[in-house]
Amino acid sequence: MTAATAGGGLRPSWLRLAGAQRRYPLLQVAVLVALVLYVGQADGDFSWNDLWAPILLQASFLGIAAAGQTLVILVGGLDFSIGAYLVAGNLLTTHLAGLEHWNFALVALLVLAICVAGGGFAGWACHRFGLEPLVVTLGMSSVVVGALVGTDTKLLNGAAPHWLQGFTQQSSKTFGLPLPPIVAFWIVLAVVVTLVLARTPAGRRLYLTGAGPRAAGLAGVRTARVWAGAYAASAVLAGLAGVLLAGFSTGGDTNIGNSYLFPGLAAVIVGGTMMGGRGDYLRTCLGALIITALNFLISVLNLDSAVQQIVFGALVLLTVALYGRERRLRDRV
Amino acid sequence: MTGVASQTATPTQAPPSTLLRIEGLAKSFGPTIALRDCSFQLRAGEVHALMGENGSGKSTLVKILSGVHAADAGRVLIEQQPLRARHPAAAAGAGVATVFQEVQCVPAQSVLDNLWLGEDGMLRRSGRRPAQRRARAREVLTGLLGRCPDLDAPAAALSLSQRQALAIGRALLRDPKVLILDEASSALDVATRDRLFAVVRRLTGTGAAVLFISHRMDEVAEIADRVTVLRSGTSVATLDRADAPAARLVELMTGDEQLVQPGAAASDRDQAGQVLLTAGGFTLRAGEIVGLAGLEGQGQDAWLRELRTVGPATAPAGEPAPGVAYVARDRREESIFPPLSIRENFTAATLSRDTRAGFISAREAGARFARYRGRLKIHLSRDRDPITTLSGGNQQKVVIARALAAHPQVLLLNDPTRGIDIGAKRDIYALLRELAAAGMAIVMLSTEVDEHLELMDRVLVFRDGQAAAELDRDQLSRSAIVGEFFGPATATSTGPAAARGTGPGPPEVTGSPPARRWRPAPTAGAWPLAAVLAIGLLAANIGVQHSLLSWSSWIVTLAELAPPALAAMATTPAVLGGGIDISIAPLLALVSVLIELGLRHGLTSAAVIIPLAAGAGAVVGTVNGVLVNYFRYQAVVATLCMTFILSGIALAYAPSPITGTTGWLTGLGATAAGVPGGLILIAVPLVAWAALTRTPYVRTLRAVGGSETTAWTAGVNVAAVRTLAYTIGGALAGLAGVAIVAQLHQAEADSGFVTPLILMAIAAVALGGTSLAGGRGGLLASVLGAAVIFLIKNLLGALNISSFWSEAVYGATLVVAVLFAAGVTRGRAAREGRTR
């Protein structure tokens, strides 16, 4: 809205800007800056502790939860089971580690096993049988949460392990820096995911599979593995977000997943990552920051969660209009 | 069948009138100029052949004439009136009917429905009565096939040749003024082709014109009155058939340029190379170029793909095993990665070569690419640009470079020069010779006879699914190759010259080309399974809970079933058309909230509330339909956004559940006039749908879901048909909102209430046997699916199993249902071919 018109009336410069926008998320950066400035202005407070740190903290959970969705969308799928694995990680950590005092490594291993098995199966099944990912992942999320809580309803009671609370508190410092450890963790994760996507063969195979499934298969990429791997990674990253959220929430909550599934998806799409090999994780991070800043704006304006949902929906519609629409029917004949 | 052409081909006496005039047509796709300047005229009563090499612009011209593409420049006049065909339906309306190169049919629909696809309006039938349609269909198909196949069998049960005849029949039924046959005879067996020619002659006898596109000189010689030659997008000449001997046409098509310098073939060299590959009786030696020829669909394609997996012969000890590289046929779908850069496209098959300590080195990749860039004469500015900025020829060179980068000893190419310009072709020929001279073995499928003549050391000609003949370099001639297309009996006599005039026609081949047999699938989907499941579960429920047998519990059960059943029904139409609407559940929640608000404000009349509910739903559904079909949003993404928005609006009005009911609503939740209200709510949409099924709409919607391109090119307004499906779904969701209020006497918008409903609705549709890929299924099936889910939940509840477990069973049922449905219909290929 700002960057697109900032180029002025001349057509060539406008076109150049449109080309640049296709390559870099200029518009997103502009929107983010505008949002943060507006929130700061409305609060009359631009201090680190009252503006920047809270936004970064909130965005870090969303960004971690949406990392997996980014991978899945890049290979051309969709993952609606993010919420379920997040809940699984959250409940197991608060109950087993927080209340039953299990060894945390054991809990982490259990979460990892559930996520890899469930996510891997969904990805494999979608690829092997050409199923609609929406349906399979929705079904899997019912299975995961239902079976988990059905096995032991006591899972709903729990408490956060103490050290984890420190990890996710805004007042905590990282190596003396006034940065909450969770934010530092998010930055490290962003670097790692970006490196893997951009510079390793595994990351390239993800893009190849998303950009041309059949061509990738013919070029020797084992696309079934890529699908299974992307969904497993998505589940693991969601589980990780759930574990970290345990430091935030006092007890288990089966609805916590929904507050990250749809906003996470919105973060990926608003960042400019589209199905079929276009986008990257840094865009998702940007998207997560925008979504979080929007939430702050909504609370600054005293609007409720209903408005928040409407704004998300409209925002995603707008972004998709800019980037990723289907080919015309005439080009498919 | 012989001699049909010569008997009926009488020249018209009166000065022929111009039926279709093409003036200076031009069309570009991005950097590729497909058509530069094309002008010629079609006279009434003539068969006008259009010839040209691959990539000369024939198909682009056809697509402009048939309304698929709009021309960039130039114009088309039909009977002196400008032809403004902005979509295929408009072209059909103007009297231009087209049979496309790719066989177009809806596999799951009957032969009769396939034939008349596109004839009807959206809701109103055209004037013809069903009996008339059958008679006319039988007549046309008998004319083409000799006997009429079962008109009610699914098109999937037909052979490839019969399906192509079906597509031709669809065009003929329109009684076109101009019939365009774009390589339409290539998939036909010889007997059918002869009958097609007879039909074509009859059609031109009535004053229509036929634009006949074929690669085959003999066909052109047999049927055409005049010939226009296209070269590099320009119409270079229009000749009478008598003035157009094969040699002259070839000269015109190639611009009299020698494509390859002859004389450097491997057979000229002293000794045969080392054996690199053996498969069946076939032996491939280093340094030779082997061509695969034959009519379309004779098994050469499958054979080449098979060769890819055979793997090379074992290499002598101490040497690395020779590799096989493959260049696929369909560049857009099988070769390039459109959003990725040129360099990333190049390295796709050889990622490990650029990997240093686990990371891909951009410098290494760039250096590797630079080596091939010069050698293949790839014209580009920066290798970081997307591959789609290149012309088709340069894209293909990048793809070949990718294959070469793996250092193969055997290179397999599947029609690599298809659709690229002549300069790029020449570069590729030169490269292939150079590679062969350096000891590489090359197998190349080509649809151009000239490529075989110029390039190959030997040629395998395919017929009826196998290599029927092998021609060595010194045996290669146009007539020898073309002759082998049809069989040994005519190998020496059926040159283009011999086939012309009174010479014997090609022999009848009785066996049709090996067709991929599709499993016949009923359009209604696999609902009997859901019915059996529902009955079994009902028995189990009654076994656990005897009270279910009482009338009063039936009333309650039906009222409880109505909302999920309606939600499932509402989800179905969009799915039938090949889309999906996941915003049904939030929509029905919103409508129920609006009803409660209405009740609160004294709006209580059923005559107001029900139409308003359905109307509000229909409006939202239409918005979804427009977003998906006119603004080209992905169905999942658009309806997901709508889910956000609708949930938000509902939450804004109802942060907590709103309660309230009124007389008739309470009745609908129990009994109205002695009939269970739930039954009424479920039955009314089913009856309405049954009524809709009597119009052409539902059939057309299934056709759109089964094959959107077929439906579109047949003249169906795909976007409107699909949008209406979303509208109907929305209206049904509105009714589901009524059912919610009737049953619960309250409305809520909480995500804990709405999210499971989204899941349930899609699960019910899948369980009912409706294909989520579109094309098959119905509303009744979805009701049965919803009943199955409802009964499972009920059973688990009766057995005192926790709601969490029942949630898990529920999800598992959904996954198993879609897995089962996928197993029943088709396997793995679905993922690759589909974009949603």
Residue B360: its chain A contacts at CB < 8 A?
199-201, 204
From the number of C-beta atoms within 10 Å of its C-beta (0-12, 13-18, 19+), residue B561 rates as: buried
Question: What element of type H or E holds A134?
Answer: helix A133-151
Asked if A138's CB is within 8 angstroms of B633's CB, the reply is no
* Start-to-end CA span in chain A (Å): 35
Look at B307-311, B432-436, B654-658 and tell me which has the smallest mean pLDDT.
B307-311
Confirm if A228 and A136 have CB atoms less than 8 A apart: no
Report the residue of chain A nearest B640, measured CA to CA: A313
Is any Cβ of chain A less than 8 angstroms from the Cβ of B627?
Answer: yes
What are the CA-CA distances from residue B149 to residues B137, B140, B166, B337, B816 (Å)? 10, 11, 10, 42, 37
Query: Tokens 């009997």 belong to which residue?
Result: B528
Confirm if B457 and B473 have CB atoms less than 8 A apart: yes
CB-defined contacts A:B, below 8 A = 254
Beta bridge partners of B239: B227
Confirm if B125 and B694 have CB atoms less than 8 A apart: no
Distance from CA of B181 to the nearest CA of A (A): 16
Q: Provide the 3-class DSSP secondary structure of residue A117.
A: helix
Asked if B773's CB is within 8 angstroms of A217's CB, the reply is no
Report the residue of chain A nearest B67, measured CA to CA: A330
Asked if A142's CB is within 8 angstroms of B69's CB, the reply is no
Task: Please state the rounded mean pLDDT for residues B36-48.
Answer: 94
What confidence score (pLDDT) does residue B388 get?
Answer: 84
pLDDT bracket for residue B314 (50, 70, 90): low
Q: Where are the alpha helices (DSSP H) in B501-659?
A: 527-544, 551-576, 584-600, 606-629, 635-653
Distance from CA of B827 to the nearest CA of A (A): 5
Q: State pTM to two decimals.
A: 0.84
Q: For residue range B508-551, list pLDDT tens digits in order.
A: 333 333 333 333 344 455 677 788 889 999 999 999 888 888 88
Beta strand extents in A208-281 (DSSP E only): none
Q: Write the residue in B806, B818, B828 that is nearest to A136 by C-beta.
A: B818
* Backbone phi, psi, residue B833, to 5°: -80, -15
Asked if B652's CB is within 8 angstroms of A306's CB, the reply is yes
What are the CA-CA distances from residue B58 to residues A277, B36, B62, B89, B176 (Å)? 33, 11, 6, 21, 20
Is any Cβ of chain A less than 8 angstroms from the Cβ of B538?
Answer: no
Residue B809: its chain A contacts at CB < 8 A?
146
Q: Write the residue in B637, B802, B830 that is nearest to A320 by C-beta.
A: B637
What confidence score (pLDDT) does residue B265 get?
Answer: 47
What confidence score (pLDDT) does residue B626 get?
Answer: 97
Task: Please state the rounded mean pLDDT for residues B121-146.
Answer: 89
Q: For residue range B326-365, list pLDDT tens digits in order.
A: 999 888 888 999 889 999 999 999 998 898 888 999 999 9
For residues B298 and B35, what is the distance between their CA atoms, to the nearest angstrom? 30
Residue B634: its chain A contacts at CB < 8 A?
275, 320, 324-326
Asked if B359's CB is within 8 angstroms of A195's CB, the reply is yes
Q: Provide the 3-class DSSP secondary structure of residue B24.
A: strand
Q: Where are the alpha helices (DSSP H) in B119-187?
A: 130-145, 160-172
Q: Provide the 3-class DSSP secondary structure of residue B73.
A: strand
CB atoms within 10 A of CB A85: 31
Q: Write the residue in A131, A138, A149 that is nearest to B822 by C-beta.
A: A131
Phi-psi region of B278 (alpha: psi -120 to 50; beta: other; left: phi over 0): beta
What confidence score (pLDDT) does residue B516 get?
Answer: 36
Phi-psi region of B448 (alpha: psi -120 to 50; beta: other; left: phi over 0): beta
Report the residue of chain B nearest A313, measured CA to CA: B641
Return the structure tokens found at B403. Answer: 């294959």
Asked if B632's CB is within 8 angstroms of A326's CB, the reply is yes
What confidence score (pLDDT) does residue B183 get?
Answer: 83
Rounded to the nearest angstrom, the gap between the alpha carbon of residue A108 and the centroid of all alpha carbons in its chain is 20
Asked if B651's CB is within 8 angstroms of A306's CB, the reply is yes
Confirm if B204 and B11 have CB atoms less than 8 A apart: no
pLDDT bracket for residue B257 (50, 70, 90): low
Asked if B822's CB is within 8 angstroms of A275's CB, the reply is no
Q: What is the DSSP string of B622-644?
A: HHHHHHHHTS---HHHHHHHHHH
- Pairing of the two strands B282-285 and B275-279: antiparallel
For residues B308 and B43, what is the distance between their CA atoms, to the nearest angstrom? 48
Q: For residue range B771-795, list pLDDT tens digits in order.
A: 888 888 889 999 999 999 899 888 8
At B16, the amino acid letter reads P
Asked if B644's CB is within 8 angstroms of A313's CB, the reply is yes
For residues B786 and A157, what is the distance between their CA atoms, to the nearest angstrom? 34
Phi-psi region of A176 (alpha: psi -120 to 50; beta: other; left: phi over 0): left
Beta bridge partners of B413: B327, B444
Distance from CA of B748 to the nearest CA of A (A): 13
Q: Write the residue in B334, B627, B811 that is nearest to A215 by C-beta.
A: B334
The dihedral through the CA atoms of B485, B491, B497, B499 has a sign that is negative
**CB interface of B with A, residues 585-624, below 8 Å:** none
Q: What is the DSSP string of B702-724?
A: HHHHH-HHHHHHTT--HHHHHHH
Return the structure tokens found at B408. Answer: 């193969």
pLDDT string in tens for chain A (333-residue length): 334 434 344 456 777 777 787 778 888 999 999 999 999 998 888 888 888 999 999 999 999 999 999 999 999 999 999 999 999 999 999 888 888 888 899 999 999 999 999 999 999 999 988 888 888 998 899 899 999 988 888 888 878 888 888 888 888 888 888 888 999 999 999 999 999 999 999 999 999 999 999 999 999 899 999 999 999 999 999 999 999 988 877 666 777 887 888 889 989 988 988 888 889 999 999 999 999 999 999 888 888 888 888 988 998 898 888 876 777 777 777
Beta bridge partners of B180: B98, B211
What confidence score (pLDDT) does residue B317 get?
Answer: 46
Report the residue of chain A nearest B575, measured CA to CA: A132
Q: Write the residue in B348, B640, B827 that is nearest to A208 by C-beta.
A: B348
Select from A80, A91, A195, A330 the residue whose CB has the most chain B CBs within 10 Å, as the one to mutate to test that interface.
A330
Query: Tokens 């007890």 belong to which residue?
Result: A251
Q: Write the residue in A136, A199, A307 that is nearest to B815 by C-beta.
A: A136
Residue A304: its chain B contacts at CB < 8 A?
651-652, 655
Confirm if A263 and A242 have CB atoms less than 8 A apart: no
Give B790's Cβ-side CA count (13 Å radius). Answer: 25
Asked if B814's CB is within 8 angstroms of A310's CB, the reply is no
For residues B34 and B615, what is the distance between their CA atoms, to the nearest angstrom? 47
Is any Cβ of chain A less than 8 angstroms from the Cβ of B748?
Answer: no
Q: Write the residue in B333, B360, B773 that is nearest to A201 by C-beta.
A: B360
Q: Provide the 3-class DSSP secondary structure of residue B285.
A: strand
What are the CA-CA distances from residue B452 to residues B53, B169, B259, B417, B603 (Å)? 14, 34, 11, 12, 80
The dihedral through the CA atoms of A149, A155, A159, A161 has a sign that is negative
CA-wise closest residue to B470 among B482, B478, B479, B481: B481
pLDDT at B478 over 80: no
Select from A74, A91, A134, A222 the residue whose CB has the most chain B CBs within 10 Å, as the one to mutate to test that interface.
A134
Report the residue of chain A nearest B759, measured CA to CA: A138
Q: Where are the alpha helices (DSSP H) in B206-324?
A: 217-223, 246-254, 300-310
| B748 Cβ contact list (under 8 Å, min separation 6) | B589, B592, B593, B654, B656, B657, B658
Report the residue of chain A nearest B801, measured CA to CA: A150
What confidence score (pLDDT) does residue B33 get?
Answer: 83
Report the residue of chain B nearest A121, measured CA to CA: B815
Distance from CA of B270 to the nearest CA of A (A): 36
For residues A259 and A298, what is the distance between their CA atoms, to the nearest angstrom? 15
At B177, the amino acid letter reads K
Rounded to the nearest angstrom, the gap between the alpha carbon of residue B327 and the centroid of all alpha carbons in its chain is 22
Which span out of B591-595, B656-660, B665-669, B825-829 was modeled with the highest average pLDDT?
B591-595
Q: Provide the 3-class DSSP secondary structure of residue B805.
A: helix
CB atoms within 10 A of CB B787: 26
Return the structure tokens found at A215. Answer: 């061509």
The dihedral through the CA atoms of B499, B503, B505, B506 has a sign that is negative
Report the residue of chain A nearest B387, measured CA to CA: A211
Q: Write the residue in B333, B355, B752 that is nearest to A214 by C-beta.
A: B333
pLDDT bracket for residue B272 (50, 70, 90): low
For residues A28 and B671, what is the distance between their CA atoms, to the nearest angstrom? 56
What confidence score (pLDDT) does residue B7 get?
Answer: 42
Q: Write the residue in A204, A266, A278 that is nearest to B360 by C-beta.
A: A204
* Backbone phi, psi, residue B291, to 5°: -95, 145
Confirm if B644 and B585 have CB atoms less than 8 A apart: no
Q: Write the residue in A78, A135, A330 that is nearest to B772 by C-beta.
A: A135
Rounded to the nearest angstrom, the gap between the alpha carbon of residue A156 and the centroid of all alpha carbons in its chain is 25
What confidence score (pLDDT) does residue B526 get?
Answer: 64
Q: How many residues are present in chain A?
A: 333
Return the structure tokens found at B584. Answer: 């049904």
Select from A74, A81, A129, A197 the residue whose CB has the most chain B CBs within 10 Å, as the one to mutate to test that interface.
A129
Confirm if B447 and B485 have CB atoms less than 8 A apart: no
What confidence score (pLDDT) does residue B624 get?
Answer: 97
Residue A23: its chain B contacts at CB < 8 A?
none
> Does the structural domain A34-323 have CATH classification 1.10.3470?
yes
What are the CA-CA distances from residue B434 to residues B261, B289, B375, B431, B618 (Å)? 12, 11, 10, 5, 65
**CB interface of B with A, residues 123-182, below 8 Å:** none
Distance from CA of A161 to the nearest CA of B (A): 26
**CB interface of B with A, residues 333-362, below 8 Å:** 333-340, 344, 347-349, 351-352, 355, 358-360
Asked if B339's CB is within 8 angstroms of A277's CB, the reply is yes
